[in-house]
Amino acid sequence: MKRIGVVMSVLIFAGWLLVACGVPTATPTAAPIANELAIELTTDPDPPKAGDLEIIVTVKDSTGKPVEGAEVRVSANMTAMDMGRMTGKATDQGGGRYALKAQLAHGGEWKFTVQVDKPGLPQGIKEEKLDVK
């Protein structure tokens, strides 16, 4: 009787060991999202300076094709102090390029947020910090 208990314990332990040391399951990796947007933010002048500034946004789809006809909104605020928030809608310049005239009252680090919406594509959002001189 004692021998049956030992054999059962060994079998249960062996089963547990097989499960614990079995073939690992595949770890999911982040697959690229179809139609994910590539958003690039530049300024004129570059590097950006306090005062009048043109914010230029270039939008491409996952294949590198320019995205035209999207609604592109830009907002910016200083990271070190509350100087209010700059917001505006960029105008379509063609070829996936959008532009917005802005005025930044002070130099320092600014956090820019770009939001891109176009029917049939996922929403694109990009945040970038720029040092305004």
pLDDT tens-digit map of 25-52: 444 444 444 458 999 999 999 999 999 9
Residue 7 belongs to some domain of the structure: no
Residue 93 belongs to some domain of the structure: yes
Residue 98 belongs to some domain of the structure: yes
User: pTM of the prediction?
Assistant: 0.71
CATH of the domain at 117: 2.60.40.1930
The full DSSP string for the chain is -HHHHHHHHHHHHHHHHHHHTSPPPPPP--PPPTTPPEEEEEEESSS--SEEEEEEEEEE-TTS-B--S-EEEEEEEESSS---EEEEEEEEEETTEEEEEEEE-S-EEEEEEEEEE-TTS--EEEEEEEEE-
Residue-number span of the structural domain to which 87 is assigned: 38-132
22: pLDDT strictly greater than 90: no
Residue 64 belongs to some domain of the structure: yes
Q: What is the pLDDT of residue 75?
A: 96
Residue 18 belongs to some domain of the structure: no
pLDDT digits 0-9 by tens, 92-125: 999 999 999 999 888 999 999 999 999 999 999 9
Based on the structure, what is the number of domains in the chain?
1
